[in-house]
Amino acid sequence: MRAVILLVSIAISSASTNKRNIVTVQSSLDDQYINPGSCGDYTNVIEGYRDAMYNFTIETYKQVAPRGTYQFVMSPLSMWITLAAMAEGADYYTQNQLFELLRIPRNQCIRHKYYQLATSRYSLTPDAAAVSKRALVIDEGVITNPVWHNFVTQHRLLDVLTAPLKYNPAVAAGSIRQAVYANFPRLDLRGNSVLIDTMDYNGLWNTAFADAVVKRAPFYSISGEHIGAVDLMTVKRHGKIGYVPSIQAKILELPIGVNNQYSMIIALVVGRTDIRPVIEAMRSTILSNVLASLKETKVPIDIAVPQFKINSELDAKVILEDLGVTSLWTDPEATRSISSPPALLSSYVQRATLTLNKHGINPPPITAQLRSFGPPTSPEDFFFSEFIADRPFMFGLFDTETHTCLISTMYTQPTYPN
């Protein structure tokens, strides 16, 4: 019962330090946490943070996309924070591996600023709900290093929870699944701990789709084959639109939230090309290219985007193993400063859910207020006068302050397949 209660506390996002487990353990971590040093003349933290995030986002996207049907949602941000928390307590070898993958600099002052930026990207306002939960669930009786434990909870990187993983694995697994609303078929409890993280984004729009007309429409594959149908939300809007030749995609940006806190960036693959090599060839610079391609159009754009909900449960451990992170799961030395006995992680799963539908919060804009310059005149104007997502598209939720990606998605499978 205690496990159930502890786990349910993830749901209310308490950064609860599990006091009962805090005892004094000698630690070499003390020193670096107490004295993070100075940032030197490194002033542009946002730029470094963004660069780190872009690289990690693309690297994980390329790993996840080819597994399965190229339809998925994941949160690179949530995974980055979870791994950063583990890196903070890991031995030097594993820490290096993780810092390299996450592009986290060794300078502690800069590192802490990255953490501050990363954990403040989420929002739970009525107009934009983007929520992530992250936890290390350890077996009852495993004692965490209080220095590390305090660090990760105070920086809001990770919650630490206990469950009877060994004594009653069925109950422990049930509580974990219930607390994070996931099936987690691959939840392996053979170690003494598991990592879990979740990300939920509910696409509430300020003005984007409240007045949309929803209609059933055909959906096509990249090669133009009719593969099913979707419920398309169609509206006419001013917005920013662009084209990126390297991925042969038309790009649309839609602002979200009362203060345009986030923006949704959709990349619609318009070339009749195989998408696999396109994704394989992606570099982190693609994200800057996409953002740089966007321009406000003169005429309102005919926009059509499917209503959908995607839920993915990723075996993050397998993905990270393929990215070269190995000792974290197998070597007790790696986690000796995290807990006693050392945390032996048998699973790391991420659940991400993205819901995109027509419910908005503001009344729709009055059509007469739209500036209109008449019908498009040039072929280019015509190309940019519509954005009809009736074929596979990639999609990202970005925050406006740092332009980093909270959620990355690919949509290829229509709601109503043929």
Specify the stretch interacting with ligand NAG by CB under 6 A; choose among 49-57, 128-136, 141-149, 387-395: 49-57
Six-digit token string for 353: 């859910």
Single out the residue of 82, 284, 327, 413 in contact with ligand NAG (rule: CB under 6 A). 284
Strands (E), 155-306: 159-163, 193-205, 213-220, 226-237, 240-244, 249-256, 262-269, 295-296, 301-306
Q: Which of 62, 112, 186, 283 binds ligand NAG (CB under 6 A)?
A: 283
List the one residue from 8, 42, 51, 174 that touches ligand NAG (CB under 6 A): 51
Judged by beta carbon, residue 318 or residue 323, the one nearer ligand NAG is: 323
Strand partners, 337: none
Question: Does residue 178 sit in helix, strand or coil?
Answer: helix
- Report, in Å, the least distance between residue 7 CB and ligand NAG: 35
**CA 145, 85, 103, 312 torsion: positive or negative?**
positive
When the beta carbons of 306 and 396 are compared against ligand NAG, the nearer one is 396
Report the half-sphere exposure of 391 (CA within 13 A, side-chain side). 19
| Nearer to ligand NAG (CB atom), residue 11 or residue 281 | 281
Q: Which helix (H) or strand (E) holds 48?
A: helix 45-64
Q: What x/- string results for residues 86 through 105 when contact with ligand NAG is judged by CB under 6 A?
A: -----------------x--
CB of 294: closest distance to ligand NAG in angstroms?
A: 20
Of 186 and 283, the one with the shorter C-beta distance to ligand NAG is 283
Could you tell me which stretch among 51-59, 67-75, 78-86, 235-243 binds ligand NAG (CB under 6 A)? 51-59
CB of 307 to ligand NAG, least distance (A): 34
Distance CA 346, CA 194 (A): 6
Token couple for 332: 């007790």
Number of amino acids touching ligand NAG (CB under 6 A): 7
Pick between residue 52 and residue 349 the one whose CB is nearest to ligand NAG. Answer: 52
Residue 403 interacts with ligand NAG (CB under 6 A)?
A: no
> No. of H helices and E strands in the chain?
13, 20
Taking CB under 6 A as the criterion, the residue among 17, 150, 285, 415 binding ligand NAG is 285
Task: Show the CA angle centred on residue 277, arms to residues 292 and 248, nearest 5°.
Answer: 35
Take residue 273 and report the two structure tokens written for it: 């090309």
Cα 78 from chain centroid (whole Å): 5
Between 40 and 363, name the residue whose CB sits nearer to ligand NAG. Answer: 40
Could you give the C-alpha distances from 45 to 51, 76, 104, 119, 416, in angstroms and in order? 10, 19, 11, 15, 45
Rounded to a whole number of angstroms, the minimum distance from the CB of residue 14 to ligand NAG is 33
Binding-residue pattern over the window 8 to 47 for ligand NAG, x denoting contact by CB under 6 A: ----------------------------------------
The residue type found at 7 is: L
Q: Which stretch binds ligand NAG (CB under 6 A): 76-84, 280-288, 368-376, 410-418?
A: 280-288
For residue 15 the two structure tokens come to 């950064």
Which residue, 85, 80, 110, is CA-closest to 335?
85
Q: Collapsing DSSP states into helix, strand and coil, what is residue 393?
A: strand
52 binds ligand NAG (CB under 6 A): yes
Confirm or reject binding of residue 111 to ligand NAG (CB under 6 A).
no
Question: Which of these ranges, 140-148, 191-199, 261-269, 277-285, lies near ligand NAG under the rule CB under 6 A?
Answer: 277-285
Residue 392 tokens read as 């596979």
Any idea what the Cα angle at residue 71 is, between residues 68 and 75, rounded to 5°?
105
Comparison of 48 and 89: residue with beta carbon closer to ligand NAG: 48
Looking at beta carbons only, is 101 or 344 nearer to ligand NAG?
101
Burial degree of 88 (CB within 10 A; 0-12, 13-18, 19+): buried
In the complex with ligand NAG, the residue whose CB is nearer, 150 or 285, is 285
Answer yes or no whether residue 404 interacts with ligand NAG by CB under 6 A. no
Give the span between the Cα atoms of 364 and 101, in whole angstroms: 43
Q: Which residues bind ligand NAG (CB under 6 A)?
A: 51-52, 55, 103, 283-285
